[in-house]
A and B are shown apart, each in its own frame.
Chain A
Amino acid sequence: MSEPPRHNLPAEPNRFVGRERDVDDLCGLLGETRVVTLCGVGGIGKTRLALRVAARLVPSYPGGVWLVELARLTRGELILQEIGRAVGIHEEGTRPLLDTVAARLRDTPALLLLDNCEHLVDQCAEVAAELVAACRGLGILATSREPLRIASELVWRVPPLDLPDERHPEAESVQLFVDRATAAGTKLSPASLDDVVRLCRALDGLPLALELAAARTSLLSPGQIVDRIDGRFSLLTTGGRTAPPRQRTLLAAVEWSYDLLSAKEQVLLRRLSVFAGSFDLELAEQICADRPISEAEIVDLLGALVDKSLVLCDEERRRYRLLETIKHYAAERLAEAAEREVLRDRHLEVLCELQLRHFGTEMVEPDLPWPVRLAALEASRSLVDDQRAALDWAIESGNAPLGLRLCAYSTSLLPVSSANPAEIVGWVERLLALDLTQVPDEQIAHAQAYLAYGLEGRDELARSLEYATVSLAGLGADNVFPSCVMHSLSVVVLLRMGRGDEALHHAETGLALAIASGDQWNQAAALAGLSAVALTRGRLREAQCHGEEALAKARQHGHRWLLARTATQLGAVAEARGDLVKAMAQYELAVPWLEELNGTIELARCLARIGRVAALLHEFEVARERLAASLKLSRLTGQRQSVARCLVSLSVLAEAEGDLESSVLAAASATALRESMGQHSATIRIEELLTRARAKLGEGRTATLWSRGRTMSPDDAARQVLAGERPVPAGPVVTEPVRHSLLTAREQEIAALLTRGLSNRAIAEELVISPATVARHIANIMEKLGYTSRAQIAVWAAEQPRGSA
């Protein structure tokens, strides 16, 4: 499998101009300080500078550099979830997300770039402080109009670009303007340079203002632009007249640029402010086309806005987005035009329609080829940010019917395709708390179905079953699909609770319903459920039979999630039968399907199973490789349950290789990890393993190994088996002396004099140099040794053997 990426930074949209010293300094600062906040007004270039610094630092952070875009979040609780999403964490049961994220970032140095913190500054500060306290190697680079005001923060004020003067006519601001004007196709004559200088000064060197101005050079000369913008400072129509000068400059520039737009361009720009993040042309057409703009006009209008630097897009012009400052301005214009409610309602309606259609294609409609289903799944996933924004609006505007509908038709919030299967729980609960008098009971039951689904993903089995039951009672005869899903969910939950008889009833009922309605998805799911029930009752032939039928149905449907699930079920049946070769083949079948879906957690589970079976088959290399891959995925996604499963498989591997000692260590480590998660069930396998170990290694040695394994970190225990090392008794810890050859002869001389308690002046007299020079030498010594006071140097120098210090 390919290496996971080390960062999620976007490609730079155009040339980065100037600020070289700043980038250098900031990279250096992040080596020294845990939290650096880039502060400054909108449009000053905080994000761009931060991205530049972050990109430069990728090699310094083995744990990765992760951009977390906060602008689109409306609620503080989502910050952690967004961080989790950026670093690839999946929520685990009821464990607090902070713990899972912290565990992921604790061991290897990583950098988080929290972009646009200002609207959630208090919650950002809280999360940043907690993460920094929990993770030694974590650095945070934040951009915000306001500082976070936490203890370890260093506030770095982003200045405007350097302005030209007599000595530096080619200052950064001029370079940026010329670069962007050239990119817009304008060739500036040398004669216009004076005007460019004047313009840069008028715009205070603000990068965004300069870019907006440069985008207009095809029509207006720099001289004309500066005259027009200058005139605006006295007649700003928006923003506070009392705002700081730079903010006023920026507003003037944005407003000037907006006023130059055609009427239709203005309408489109302000409507585009409803999108949560980036959007594509199709979505813009569906949501923004209304009087006076027709759908067919939007592509040209959007292009015109891109040319004017008001809308950004990627190179292929697939995804468009607005800079935060522009979006904010556009949203104000939208409210002023009294279009906000209308537009947000339509945003919600369109998202409902789209997700309903994608859901139908991905899951419900029979006999579609897989690529069609996959395309629907991906389209649905790409809408998830907008879906969240729309759900926010449904809650804000009290629109429970549409909000619940949007929840009920979206796999992007469900375990099938989401990293946080429990997210749906929060949305449905909030929506169900609204006034529901206008909502039909049937629709409430439908929403409860997905609430139950999410609760199972959060391991809240009793509540999940409760909602599934309530939902089944409320869902009428027309809602066959969710009814079938509820039966399948009940099978899973009841089996997990050890209630096989009730599970059987649900599996049978669900299957009958699904057959009657020709629903392939639920037929496959119900058959897999029947197979699982038969397996727990030891009826292997029946389990095999149902499993095969399930796989055949899944193939008809084509969804990879379903195929992987049924193949895994058949693998489990084969394993129970003792047919390990067949089991391994079935599990291997699921791997490419899960890879295609990015189903990380399920993939980790499947790889761990393959590893265990391969170990039993004495295919040690395969076992090692699969278990290493599984462990890595489990660690990256923060799943302790999954890590524990790997350790158990590693224990099997070690024993199969004849290394009983490592096997005990891995089993002990797995047990300790499970106990830390509140799971205390000792497994039969571990009991048997310990019996064998006692017989072979003796009671004392086994007990020692067990207690050592319990205190060992899961990583260390895993590494031992993966590397095939035999445990060695712990020897004395070797401590290396500090290296001191770093110091120059003069510095060593001064260090030695410091042990005599001499002042800088006395040292200066002794060595016949100036006190300032002594101070500089001392600063150098401190830097080299990492000390922060003269006293530390003195203590250190006194400990050094004579002659070498």
Chain B
Amino acid sequence: MVDSGTGLCLTEGQLDERSAAATVQLRRRGVRAGDTVLICLTVGPDLLVATDAVIAAGGIVWPVPAELDEGRLRDRIMASRARLMISDLPRAMNAARESWVRMVVSVAELHSYPVSRERRTESDPTGRRTKGDCEGV
């Protein structure tokens, strides 16, 4: 796909790769099958990645148009009863303040590989192989 704003391209392979990583992030934050996840992003590659990731994590996508004003955002956020929202918009974060949203995940966090707790157990002698990937986070 092509982002009409920036002209940047996202290939199918990149989309698969990014949404897979994003799925991991959502699962780590406790998204379970059947959970509603709010997505409040401008139209573009990130929106596509987020949507695919929510579906792969078994969640229900509840998109909210990024252009709405804070009051109307708040109404939709409240109505969704969602526990998690994917957004970068300060307006959306404010609107979620009095809602049931527990966590707001930014696009950057969705793409990042946060340091996972390195618990080495007998059955998992390698630990989680994430350390090298996360230095820049």
Residues of A within 8 A of B (CB): 22, 24-25, 28-29, 31-34, 109, 136-137, 139, 151-152, 154-159, 162, 244-246, 735-736, 738-739, 757, 759-761, 772, 775-776, 778-779, 782-783, 786-792
Contact = CB atoms under 8 A, between A and B. Distances in A.
Contacts of B20: 775, 778-779, 782, 789-790
A33 B114 CA distance: 8
5 contacts: A154-B29, A775-B16, A778-B20, A778-B56, A779-B23
A32 B28 contact: yes
B117 A33 contact: yes
B16 A760 contact: yes
Contact of B101 (A151, A159, A162): A159
Contact of B13 (A109, A759, A792): A759
A792 B129 contact: yes
Interface string B41-54: 00000000000100
Interface string B108-135: 0000011111110001111111100100
A787 B130 CA distance: 7
Given A32-B116, A788-B113, A791-B17, A159 B128 contact: no
Nearest to A32: B28
B129 A786 contact: yes
Contact of B103 (A157, A757, A761, A791): A157
B103 A775 contact: no
Nearest to B23: A779
B102 A779 contact: no
Contacts of B30: 24-25, 28-29
A782 B55 contact: no
- Best-buried of B27, B98, B118, B137 by chain A (most CB within 10 Å): B98
B112 to A, nearest CB: 9
Contacts of A31: 117, 119
Contacts of B102: 22, 25, 156-159
A776 B133 contact: no
Given A28-B30, A34-B117, A782-B20, A775 B56 contact: yes
A751 to B, nearest CB: 12
Contacts of A152: 114-115
Contact of A786 (B21, B57, B101, B116): B116
Contacts of B116: 32, 786
A28 B27 CA distance: 10
A783 B56 contact: no
B16 A790 contact: yes
Contacts of B119: 31, 109, 137
Given A29-B30, A31-B117, A155 B103 contact: yes
Q: Which 6 A-B pairs have the closest CB atoms?
A: A775-B56, A25-B30, A786-B128, A779-B23, A788-B113, A159-B100
Given A159-B102, A760-B16, A790-B17, A779 B129 contact: no
A29 B84 CA distance: 13
A776 B31 CA distance: 13
A465 to B, nearest CB: 48
Nearest to A30: B117
Nearest to B55: A772
Contacts of B104: 155, 157
Contacts of B58: 776
Contact of A739 (B123, B127, B129, B130): B123
B36 to A, nearest CB: 13
B99 interface: yes
B100 to A, nearest CB: 5
B84 to A, nearest CB: 10
B97 interface: yes
Given A738-B126, A783-B27, A759 B98 contact: no
B125 A789 contact: no
B27 to A, nearest CB: 6
B107 interface: no
Contacts of A246: 98
Given A155-B103, A735-B125, 7 more contacts: A31-B119, A157-B103, A159-B100, A772-B56, A775-B16, A786-B126, A788-B133
A154 B29 CA distance: 9
Nearest to A735: B125
A739 B123 CA distance: 8
B15 to A, nearest CB: 8
B117 A139 contact: yes
Nearest to A775: B56
A740 to B, nearest CB: 12
B24 interface: yes
A789 B137 CA distance: 16
Interface in B6-37: 12-13, 16-17, 19-21, 23-24, 27-30
Contacts of A736: 125
B99 A159 contact: yes
A194 to B, nearest CB: 22
Contacts of B129: 786-787, 792
Contact of B21 (A151, A244, A739, A789): A789
Q: Which of B13, B19, B56, B57 has the most C-beta atoms of chain A within 10 angstroms of its own C-beta? A: B56
Contacts of A738: 125-126
Nearest to B134: A788
Nearest to A783: B27
Given A155-B103, A789-B17, A789-B20, A779 B27 contact: yes
A782 B57 CA distance: 12
Nearest to B126: A738
Contacts of A791: 17
Contacts of A782: 20, 23-24
A735 B127 CA distance: 13
Nearest to B94: A244
Given A772-B55, A789-B17, A136 B98 contact: no
Nearest to A205: B100
A575 to B, nearest CB: 44
Contacts of A788: 21, 24, 113, 130, 133
Contacts of A22: 102
A172 to B, nearest CB: 11
Nearest to B58: A776
Contact of B29 (A29, A159, A244, A778): A29
A567 B134 CA distance: 57
B24 A779 contact: yes
A776 B113 CA distance: 18
Contacts of A156: 102-103
